[in-house]
Structure 1
Amino acid sequence: MRFVTTTALLALIAAPALAEGWKDDYQVIKFGILSGENEKDRLMRNEPLRVYLEEQLGVTVEIFTAGNYDGVIQAMAADQIEVARFGSSSYAAAYTATDGGVIPTLTTIKKDGNTGYKSIVVTRCDSGITSLEDAKGKVHAFADPDSTSGYAVPYFNMVTVEGFKPEEHFGTVTFGGSHEADVTGVVNGTFDTASTYQNSEDNSIVTRMEAKGMIDEGVVCKIWTSPEITSGPWTFRDNLPAEMIEEITATIEAFPEADPEGFKLYSSFDPEDANPTVGFTRVDAERYQWIVDMRAWIKAQRRSGS
């Protein structure tokens, strides 16, 4: 009887620790966000999600930012952060940097069920440039070497679909550093054209900057649109406990319903957008393999100098 009592006592003592599971080893979770917009706005938009995750998971949740996309990618590769919201191309870069050691779990979904967005090329509406052909010999800015819509997709399509190498077609090719910097450079005349993105006709980096008063309405116009790109995934290191990945994934997945107002801020909800982002849907690595392959193609092109 004494043996049974002692065993039961030990079980009671051990129960709370066992119940915590992965949280015993991960009291702080850091999630990375990319530099698509200025840091103040990035942190403001993601704060509702950070607070929600902290409350639901019962651990400290911190946001990790960097000056460029590669900073978040390398933080993931160095095990400095547990999870990040990548674009498709930066996910592929993280996949390569970790030798496949990352797991994508969620991406955003629109009201109409669409899970993609598009790369666009923009110019000043008064520039006289109405096509990529018109931009020949001009200054073109890509956003960031690890940006899907701001570099990989437009570069790939310019070569394989439009039939020209950007370095040979444009007079100068440069990187603005972020989508907002690209658009600002176009407005200021630093760049003649720039690559960036749109979620829909009414929701893009241009409309966001107009809504925030960063640029005047009607100054920036679109001259090229890519095929649809699968939205980037929430991505975890694959050396994390499987139950941890699933619990955090499920918690993020429930965010839109659990905190509708917080999700509106996070997703930059526009009441005039007929097709807003409404939530998340599950994805896997196979969904992004073509992006991994595209980046490998681009790297091979650079290496061969062709």
Structure 2
Amino acid sequence: MPAPRLFGRRAAMRLLSLAPLIAAGPHVGRSQEKEIRFGLTPVFLTSDLELLASLKSYLERATGSVVKLVSRRIYQEITSLLLSGQLDAAWICGFPFVANADRLDLVAVPVWRGGLLYQSYLIAGRSHAGTRIEDLTGDIHAFSDPDSNSGWLVTAAALARLGTTPGRFFRQTFFTYGHRNVIRAVSSGLAASGSVDGYVYEVMSEVEAALVAETRVVVKSAWLGFPPVACASSQGSAPHIVRLREALTGMSQDHEGQKALSI
């Protein structure tokens, strides 16, 4: 089966990678079924009304269900809604997915540059002299979210291997609750360094080049599993989840799905 086509640059900044893990055939219309409540984290640009409308329209046609898109400011809120049954599925981070592995099932994994992996970046201001994580000591450092793998856990784990903690290593830390906000904080000088998703940084280097030009990558992490779309383990085989999985994995093979990915 041919590999799915990846999304365009503009769609990547907005959708940040709901290209499929595997390709599927075109979807046929279905009668209206159970409403699907789909959670979106702050990685998603919820201010882009055109994209949200296009995504909602595609998913509703592809699943045969009314789809409600639910966004929250932080990962923990979305994860809590998912675990409590208030969401049917959600695009979450790898950290909460692993932390709740006994309670969550995989729905789909986005494709990034032809693969299922990404990296965490430690970034700094353009004039920062650091070349290693050790060189960031004493910085004001911006993290993304306390439940973010690349925006918190990777850096905290690296510091633990050095026998220290973020609170002792950095002069001050704060959470921006958005990977793009980390880049903005470092670019503006609000923070001297930051921890951010590599895929967000790479896309922003194309769509907001002037902003990213005020920063540079100091260290790249090992390759990590891409943030997944997940559901409660009790619902993994439920008909509406199966339809959602088919819709997501077939998105780039469907005309309307391709339209949403290209916005």
For Structure 1 versus Structure 2, the TM-score category normalised by the shorter chain is 0.7 to 0.9
- Equivalent runs, 1:55-66 vs 2, <5 Å: 55-66=61-72
Structure 1 residue aligned with 2:10:
none
Structure 1 residue aligned with 2:232:
237
Seen in structure 2, the aligned counterparts of structure 1 residues 111 and 124 have a Cα distance that, compared at 3 Å, is closer
- Equivalent runs, 1:94-133 vs 2, <5 Å: 95=100, 100-110=102-112, 112=114, 114-133=115-134
- Equivalent runs, 1:259-298 vs 2, <5 Å: 259-265=257-263
1:52 paired with 2:58, answer yes
Structure 2 residue aligned with 1:185:
185
8 A contact 1:118–1:197 mirrored in 2? yes
Seen in structure 2, the aligned counterparts of structure 1 residues 89 and 180 have a Cα distance that, compared at 3 Å, is same
8 A contact 1:157–1:226 mirrored in 2? no
Structure 1 residue aligned with 2:86:
80
Seen in structure 2, the aligned counterparts of structure 1 residues 257 and 103 have a Cα distance that, compared at 3 Å, is same
Displacement of 1:79: 1.4
Structure 2 residue aligned with 1:222:
217
Seen in structure 2, the aligned counterparts of structure 1 residues 211 and 45 have a Cα distance that, compared at 3 Å, is farther
8 A contact 1:49–1:255 mirrored in 2? no
Q: Which amino acid in 2 is paired with 1:253? A: T
1:92 paired with 2:98, answer yes
8 A contact 1:124–1:220 mirrored in 2? yes
Secondary structure of 1:262's partner?
A: helix
Seen in structure 2, the aligned counterparts of structure 1 residues 215 and 147 have a Cα distance that, compared at 3 Å, is farther
Structure 2 residue aligned with 1:152:
153
What TM-score do you get using the length of structure 1 for normalisation?
Answer: 0.68
Matched residues in 2 for 1:218 and 1:31: separation? 35
Displacement of 1:173: 2.3
**Aligned-residue CA RMSD (Å):** 2.4
Q: Which amino acid in 2 is paired with 1:194? A: G
Q: Which amino acid in 1 is paired with 2:47? A: K
Query: Which protein shows a greater Rg?
Result: 1
Structure 2 residue aligned with 1:32:
39
Q: Which amino acid in 2 is paired with 1:223? A: V
Seen in structure 2, the aligned counterparts of structure 1 residues 47 and 208 have a Cα distance that, compared at 3 Å, is farther
Secondary structure of 1:109's partner?
A: coil
Structure 2 residue aligned with 1:167:
167
Displacement of 1:32: 0.5
Matched residues in 2 for 1:111 and 1:140: separation? 29
Pick the aligned partner of 1:249 from 245, 248, 252.
Answer: 245
Displacement of 1:217: 4.7
| Number of residue pairs aligned between Structure 1 and Structure 2 | 231
After superposition, give the CA deviation of every residue in 1:33-71 in whole Å (9 maximum; x if it has no partner).
111255314x65454332111012222111100111111
What TM-score do you get using the length of structure 2 for normalisation?
Answer: 0.78
8 A contact 1:101–1:237 mirrored in 2? yes
Displacement of 1:111: 5.0
Displacement of 1:133: 2.0
- Equivalent runs, 1:126-145 vs 2, <5 Å: 126-145=127-146
After superposition, give the CA deviation of every residue in 1:146-178 in whole Å (9 maximum; x if it has no partner).
111101122112322x55422222111221221
Displacement of 1:126: 1.5
Secondary structure of 1:62's partner?
A: strand
8 A contact 2:88–2:241 mirrored in 1? no
Secondary structure of 1:103's partner?
A: strand
Note the residue ranges of structure 1 that are not aligned, 5 or more in a row.
Answer: 1-18, 200-204, 266-306
Matched residues in 2 for 1:44 and 1:147: separation? 27
8 A contact 1:38–1:180 mirrored in 2? no
Identity value in percent:
19
